[in-house]
Every structure is written in structure tokens, then in C-alpha cells.
């Protein structure tokens, strides 16, 4: 089985083997334009260290992303003239993640742009919210 770092397209971008339209880089992170944008200015923000899911990310990388996301989102809005943006991060195929390297999307949005997602809000049955609360709290303990 091939090493996932060797076959990962985003790791190839980090190593400089695959070209990308980079807009930001520091020792931990890289941000570049998505080659299949949902809107002009669609940006991807990745940690340079390979991990596939958000729960695999270490605290220093999470802090670095949290620090830079607001600045990058503002830059995307300024450059694209968009009215707003979505910041999206998916984990695993069931969530829509297609590249198995942790990444955040900054997607510029305009009213009536036709983009969106299905948000089919549900409701908890009697006692279900308390049971879920207890399960999550137990997992954190």
C-alpha cells in the first residue's frame, strides 16, 4: 500500500511537486485557490503536515488555522467583491470529503448565486437530546 503522504495531491502541492495558486504560506499552513471553484476566489486552507480528519490535527495547527481563517476570509471577500462566505470543513466520505488531507474551504457567496446545501433540520424525540448530551460528555471525559 502506498504511503498516503506520497500519493496525496495536497502533500504534493506542499512539496512543490504540483503547481498551485498560493495566496498564503507559513511554517504550518498553506492557502491556495481551488482549481474547481464553486465561486471565483474559492480558497483552500490546509495544514502542511498530512492528516486526514479534524480530530487528527494537533493543537498548534488548530490554533494556527483559527488565527489565520478570519484574515483569509476577509481577503477573499475584498478580492472577490462577495457579500459573504461559507467556511466549510468536511471529514470522511459520508460528509463529502473527496481529498483525504484535512482542508478548509473559504467559499465567496452572493445572494442568488445558486450555491447552497440541504439543511434538513430535525428534532430530538423525548429524552433524546439528554441522552446525546450524556454520550458526548462521556466521550470527552
Which of 50, 103, 105, 126 is catalytic? The answer is 103
Measured CA to CA, the distance from residue 141 to residue 136 in angstroms comes to 9
Q: How far apart are CA 20 and CA 14, in angstroms?
A: 9
- CB 47 within 8 Å of CB 65: yes
Rounded CA gap, 95 and 93, in Å? 5
Which residue in the block uniquely carries the three cell numbers 470543513?
89
Report CA 77 to chain centroid distance, whole Å: 17
Q: Is the torsion defined by CA of 135, 90, 11, 33 positive or negative? A: negative
Does the active-site annotation cover 126?
A: no
User: Is residue 108 within 8 Å of residue 77, measured between CB atoms?
Assistant: yes
Enumerate the active-site residues: 103
Amino acid at each position: 500500500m502506498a504511503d498516503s503522504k506520497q500519493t496525496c495531491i495536497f502533500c504534493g502541492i506542499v512539496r512543490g511537486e504540483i503547481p498551485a495558486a498560493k495566496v498564503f504560506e507559513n511554517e504550518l499552513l498553506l492557502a491556495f485557490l481551488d482549481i474547481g471553484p464553486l465561486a471565483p476566489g474559492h480558497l483552500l486552507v490546509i495544514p502542511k503536515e498530512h492528516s486526514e480528519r479534524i480530530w487528527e490535527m494537533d493543537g498548534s495547527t488548530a490554533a494556527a488555522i483559527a488565527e489565520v481563517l478570519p484574515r483569509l476570509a476577509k481577503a477573499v471577500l475584498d478580492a472577490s467583491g462577495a457579500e459573504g462566505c461559507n467556511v466549510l470543513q468536511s471529514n470522511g466520505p459520508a460528509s463529502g470529503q473527496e481529498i483525504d488531507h484535512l482542508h478548509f474551504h473559504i467559499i465567496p457567496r452572493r445572494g442568488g448565486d445558486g450555491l447552497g446545501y440541504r439543511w434538513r433540520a430535525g428534532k430530538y424525540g423525548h429524552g433524546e437530546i439528554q441522552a446525546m448530551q450524556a454520550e458526548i460528555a462521556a466521550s470527552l471525559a
